[in-house]
């Protein structure tokens, strides 16, 4: 049977969140909450996506893989391994913390998980920025001094935001998403984040949010100077290519159809503009904001309207990732 796997969104309140996903993605959000994250595809302790339609409806993603790993992920994928990718929509009404995710070797030493991610901007307020890496020439010593003087902002590289830009954020890159951005984030299945600085604000409970300065200083790549985004990416562009995943942007100009035959590696489809149609055992339309998993054993054709654009994430099903540890770790954004 060729059914795409669609998930129920998991909405998370954040001190920096808002209500923009209602208007930007036509979502019905929990009332009275400032929603910063919508986890679209997740297989983590405490946050497991529930499948919305098809033969696995009502199952969690983890349960489906445990029982049908070959059908969903392919014959080489271990059924006891979690789904290796986490997909989120982020509504950033205020700055996120200045933070870093640990590289693999550092993560092992600190008891965390490495995390590499990619951001794709779908809505950007005038003047909105991204922060990534350090300004050219900034040294570890200068960073330490500025940290103790509470004056880090002048050392951080800032990038004006634009709809259609993307930014690859590998483990070890100092970063923060600035206020006024709505972003699709596709990342490794990890939630280990070390905050360096949080703008002096309180959390949802009214208390200062914790920072993890020692861990962050061990994780930051101090030779990562002034990275630049991929500007206003076009259909056919490769946005990210790393050990954990590959992401391409695709469109449907001239009536193009993307084909994903049965017994080819699974892919994630993220609709970033317009609407698409997926033909398998049945044909359904999916609007902007949808994230779908096309499983290994399905036979699919994907088409779209003239303005439809999608991100296609693949090469994540090699089965090399270990299951995330159930122990508590910093899981802040």
pLDDT band at 192 (very low <50, low <70, confident <90, very high): very high
- 82: pLDDT confidence band, cut at 50, 70 and 90? very high
Q: How confident is the model at residue 214 (pLDDT cuts 50, 70, 90)?
A: very high
Mean pLDDT over 64-77 rounds to 96
Single out the residue in 219, 254, 269 at which a domain terminates: 219
Q: Is the CB of residue 18 less than 8 Å from the CB of residue 181?
A: no
Quick: pLDDT tens for 249-290: 999 988 999 999 999 999 999 999 999 999 999 999 999 999
| 187 and 247 assigned to the same domain | no
Asked whether residue 24 is assigned to any structural domain, the reply reads yes
Verify that 191 and 302 share a domain, yes or no.
no
Structure confidence at residue 317 (pLDDT): 81
Higher pLDDT, 11 or 200: 11
Same domain, 88 and 180: yes
Q: What is the mean pLDDT of residues 61-71?
A: 97
DSSP string, 173-234: --EEEPTTEEEEEEEES----EEEE-TT-B-TTSSBPP--HHHHHHH--TT-B---PBPS--
- If you average pLDDT over residues 161-182, what whole number do you get? 97
Domain count, the chain: 2
Q: What is the pLDDT of residues 2-50, one digit of tens each?
A: 999 999 999 999 999 999 999 999 999 999 999 999 999 999 998 999 9
What confidence tens digit (pLDDT) does each residue in 149-169 have? Answer: 999 999 999 999 999 999 999
Domain-embedded: residue 229: no
Same domain flag for 16 and 85: yes
Give yes or no for a contact between 85 and 61, defined as CB atoms under 8 angstroms apart.
no
Is the pLDDT confidence value at 131 over 60?
yes
**115-125: pLDDT as tens digits:** 999 999 999 99
Does 141 share its domain with 256? no
**pLDDT, mean of residues 140-149:** 95
> Which of the listed residues 185, 219, 253 is the one where a domain comes to its end?
219
Where does the pLDDT of residue 293 fall: very low under 50, low under 70, confident under 90, or very high at 90 and above? very high
In a domain, 249, yes or no: yes
Is 94 a member of any domain?
yes
97-120 mean pLDDT: 96
- Whether residue 326 is contained in a domain is answered as no
Mean pLDDT of all residues belonging to the chain:
93
In the residue annotation, 201 being an active-site residue is answered as: no
Asked if the structure places residue 234 within a domain, the reply is: no
| pLDDT number for residue 133 | 98
Tell whether 136 is covered by a domain: yes
Q: Which of 14, 44, 93, 195 is catalytic?
A: 195
- Is residue 267 domain-resident? yes
- 139 and 176 in a single domain? The answer is yes
Percent of the chain beyond pLDDT 90? 91
**With b meaning 16 or more CB within 10 Å and e meaning fewer, what string describes 122-141?**
bbbeeebbbbbbbeeebeee
Residues 246 and 213 grouped into a single domain: no
Look up residue 272 and give its two tokens: 């970033």
What is the model's pLDDT at position 1?
Answer: 64
Domain identity same for 206 and 249: no
Backbone angles phi, psi at 104, to 5 degrees: -55, -45
The answer to whether residues 117 and 202 belong to one domain is yes
Q: Based on the fold, state whether residues 52 and 145 are members of the same structural domain.
A: yes
User: What is the residue range of 276's domain?
Assistant: 239-314
Q: Are residues 188 and 105 in the same domain?
A: yes
Residues 304-317 pLDDT 10s: 999 999 999 999 98
Q: Looking at residue 131, which CATH number applies to its domain? A: 2.60.120.10
Q: Are residues 173 and 49 in the same domain?
A: yes
Which of 29, 61, 28, 21 is closest to 42 using CA atoms? 61
Each residue of 320-332: pLDDT tens digit?
444 444 333 343 4
Percent of the chain past pLDDT 70, that is, above it, reads 95
């Amino acid at each position: 049977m060729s059914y795409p796997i669609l998930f129920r969104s998991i909405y998370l309140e954040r001190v920096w969140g808002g209500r923009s996903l209602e208007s930007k993605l036509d979502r019905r959000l929990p009332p009275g909450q400032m929603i910063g994250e919508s986890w679209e595809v997740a297989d983590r302790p405490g946050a497991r996506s529930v499948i919305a339609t098809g033969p696995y409806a009502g199952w969690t993603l983890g349960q489906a893989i445990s029982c049908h790993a070959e059908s969903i992920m392919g014959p080489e994928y271990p059924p006891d391994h979690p789904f290796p990718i986490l997909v989120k929509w982020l509504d950033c009404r205020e700055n996120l913390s200045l933070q870093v995710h640990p590289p693999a070797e550092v993560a092992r030493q600190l008891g965390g998980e490495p995390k590499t991610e990619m951001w794709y901007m779908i809505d950007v307020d005038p003047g909105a920025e991204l922060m990534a890496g350090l300004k050219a020439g900034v040294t570890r010593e200068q960073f330490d001094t500025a940290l103790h003087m509470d004056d880090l902002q002048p050392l951080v590289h800032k990038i004006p935001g634009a709809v259609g830009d993307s930014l690859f954020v590998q483990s070890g890159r100092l970063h923060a998403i600035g206020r006024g951005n709505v972003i699709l984030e596709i990342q490794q299945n990890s939630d280990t984040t070390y905050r360096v600085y949080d703008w002096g604000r309180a959390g949802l409970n009214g208390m200062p949010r914790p920072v993890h300065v020692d861990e962050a200083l061990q994780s930051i790549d101090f030779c990562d100077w002034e990275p630049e985004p991929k500007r206003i990416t076009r259909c056919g562009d490769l946005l990210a290519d790393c050990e954990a995943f590959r992401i391409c942007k695709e469109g449907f100009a001239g009536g193009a159809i993307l084909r994903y035959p049965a017994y080819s590696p699974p892919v994630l489809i993220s609709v970033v503009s317009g609407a698409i149609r997926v033909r398998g055992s049945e044909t359904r339309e999916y609007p902007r904001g949808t994230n779908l998993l096309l499983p290994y054993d399905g036979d699919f054709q994907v088409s779209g309207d003239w303005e439809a654009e999608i991100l296609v994430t693949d090469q994540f099903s090699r089965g090399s990732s270990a299951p995330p540890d159930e122990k508590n770790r910093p899981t802040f954004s």
